[in-house]
Amino acid sequence: MKRIQMLIPILVILMLTSFTTPVLAAKGKTEKIEYTLLGTISDLNTGKWGTISLTFNGGLKGTPDFEESYIFEGPVDYVGDYDYEYYWFDGILDWKTVGHHWYEITGYESYRSYKAKWYSPQSTFNGKLVAIWNDGSTSTFSVGLSPLIIEKFKDEGSGDIDASFSFVQDLYWWNTETEEWVYDRTETGSDSYSGSSTYGTSSLSIQFSAKLQSKGGPPIQGMLSLADFTYSSDILPGRSLSVSGIIGQYDISCYSWIS
């Protein structure tokens, strides 16, 4: 499973930066933002579900209402575990992965972190959502997203660490005839890392007041959350994007990993 193999070493980065939170604001300039994401949608009223393409764009402008920086140097010792669940589409079937992850990270690190946060009003992001439902029908909506809270962070650091990871997960595929998840297999794995590493993370998180509207239909109100994380590291460079939330009767979830 390529997807979960990518998730395993990412714990090194997340643990090393766990005391901080993510990109300094560009004061007085408009920062253009544009996204195209694939994901899933379900109608909470009818039980229908499907896949979606979601595009939207906008910009951030002005001075953050809050800024801070933080510097840390010292030993690290993280031991823990967590459960996870995510959905994905392989081009033929919809899949669900349910798993459990264990980790242990020890070593020494030094890093600095910057944080900026907006609460002031920003202009609306606009876009389009196209849904292909499991019954073969399609729906197209215009999208309006009004930012409520915007947070940007950036971390940079280096360290000498020893890390070990293990996981167990069950995979299920969706049977369109019986409309139920069917168990496919169980996967297990482990990984480890030891040595010096430099890393950086940047993140953009936005809470939106969201509106969907089909042609000739009434507007539907709800909330969406955007999380955009970029990792630059000796261990695992990459970027994860996710958008999720509920707008009216529609439960929306998009996720992608870009390596």
pLDDT score at 14: 40
pLDDT score at 112: 83
Q: Higher confidence at residue 61 or residue 170?
A: 170
pLDDT tens profile 44-54: 999 999 999 99
- Mean pLDDT across the chain, nearest whole number? 84
- Residue 18: pLDDT band (50, 70, 90) is very low
Do residues 63 and 116 touch, judged by C-beta distance below 8 A? no
pLDDT tens profile 210-250: 999 999 899 999 999 999 998 876 655 788 899 999 999 99
Which two structure tokens, joined as six digits, stand for 4?
Answer: 């979960």
- Residue 21: pLDDT band (50, 70, 90) is very low
pLDDT score at 85: 83
pLDDT tens profile 68-127: 998 888 888 888 888 888 787 787 888 889 999 998 888 888 878 889 998 888 899 999
pLDDT score at 31: 84
> What DSSP assignment string belongs to 207-257?
EEEEEEE-TTSPPEEEEEEEEEEEEEESS--EEEEEEEEEETTEEEEEEEE
- Residue 160: pLDDT band (50, 70, 90) is confident
Q: What is the mean pLDDT of residues 124-141?
A: 95
In 3D space, the residue among 55, 220, 68 whose CA is nearest the CA of residue 153 turns out to be 68
Q: What is the DSSP code (8-state) at residue 9?
A: T
Contacts of 223 (CB under 8 A, 6+ apart): 207, 208, 209, 210, 245, 246, 247
pLDDT tens profile 163-199: 888 999 999 999 988 989 999 999 999 988 888 877 7
> What DSSP assignment string belongs to 43-93?
ETTT--EEEEEEEEEEEE-S--SEEEEEEEEEEEEEEEEEEEEEEEE-SS-
Q: Higher confidence at residue 118 or residue 8?
A: 118
Cα 10 from Cα 7, distance rounded (Å): 5
What's the pTM value of the predicted model, to 2 decimals?
Answer: 0.67
Which two structure tokens, joined as six digits, stand for 21?
Answer: 């939170």
Distance spanning both ends of the chain, measured CA to CA:
15
pLDDT score at 12: 40
In 3D space, the residue among 16, 11, 14, 15 whose CA is nearest the CA of residue 167 turns out to be 11
* Percent over 90 (pLDDT), the chain: 46
Cα 181 from Cα 141, distance rounded (Å): 28
**Does the pLDDT at position 7 exceed 80?**
no
Cα 162 from Cα 16, distance rounded (Å): 12
